[in-house]
Amino acid sequence: MPNRRNFLLLIAASLLPTAGRLVRPALAQADGHASDFVKGIGDKLVAVVNGPGSERDKRERLTQIIDSGVDVEGVARFCLGRFWRNATPEQQKRYMELFHQVLVNNITSKLGDYQGVRFTMGRAQQRDDNDVVSTVVGRPNNPPTNVDWIISAANGSPRIIDVVAEGTSLRLTQRSDYASYLSRNNNNIDALINAMRQQVAQAG
């Protein structure tokens, strides 16, 4: 949904033929913002992954990048879907902590696989209120992958809310994983929390 300012801008654009030219740079700038944001995060990630430093050091720095660049809370809520509403505040809190750990582990555990990673920036678009920035990620031993970064600025500053690799959304996939696990465990949220705790423990 376009917000009010944009709506007014749109009316202005349709009334004044010259205003149409004013809107265009504004749009281009917005795309630039999202692209710059993704490029900034991408550069930081690549620098950490390919750079020097101990494994622990790298993990710490990756965690910082994730915390500042990803809307972890929003993603966590999305992944639990309707079960978020059914969960007790205590369950919500534990789930949120575990989700954060699982996410960080999933990303940092791939440090080795991603050694030598490179990425090239593609175009930026707007889709439903969000910015979609396309990139191509290349890593040794693997074919180049098209990765779209979905950026939302709903909470003020831009944050990653989803990563879509070759048409597959990370958060949608995670949600269906949790939904299926829950449906096979009597929709018991504690069972999910225990399973996540085990995952975290195994990742050590």
The mark string for 101-140 relative to another protein (x by CB under 8 A, - otherwise) is -x---x--xx--x---------x-xxx-x----------x
52 or 108: CB nearest another protein: 108
| Range in contact with another protein (rule: CB under 8 A) among 26-34, 41-49, 54-62, 91-99 | 26-34
Q: Does 91 bind another protein (CB under 8 A)?
A: no
Smallest distance, another protein to C-beta of residue 160, A: 15
Q: Is 13 in the site for another protein (CB under 8 A)?
A: yes
Residue 99 in contact with another protein, rule: CB under 8 A: no
Distance CA 67, CA 44 (A): 13
- CB-based burial, 14-26: b 16+ in 10 Å, e otherwise: eeeeeeeeeeeee
Whether 165 and 146 have beta carbons less than 8 Å apart is answered as yes
Left (φ > 0), alpha (ψ -120 to 50) or beta: where does 163 sit?
beta
- For another protein, the binding residue among 4, 82, 90, 201 (CB under 8 A) is 82
Residue 188 touches another protein, criterion: CB under 8 A? no
3-state secondary structure 100-164: HHHHHHHHHCCCCCCCCCEEEEEEEEEECCEEEEEEEEECCCCCCEEEEEEEECCCCCCEEEEEE
The stretch near another protein (CB under 8 A) out of 55-63, 66-74, 90-98, 193-201 is 193-201
In Å, how far are 40, 52, 142, 203 from 87, measured between CA atoms?
A: 36, 42, 40, 25
Binding site for another protein (CB under 8 A): 2-3, 6, 9-10, 13, 20, 23, 26-27, 29-31, 33, 82, 102, 106, 109-110, 113, 123, 125-127, 129, 140-143, 152-154, 156, 158, 166-169, 172-173, 176-181, 183-184, 187, 192, 195-196, 199
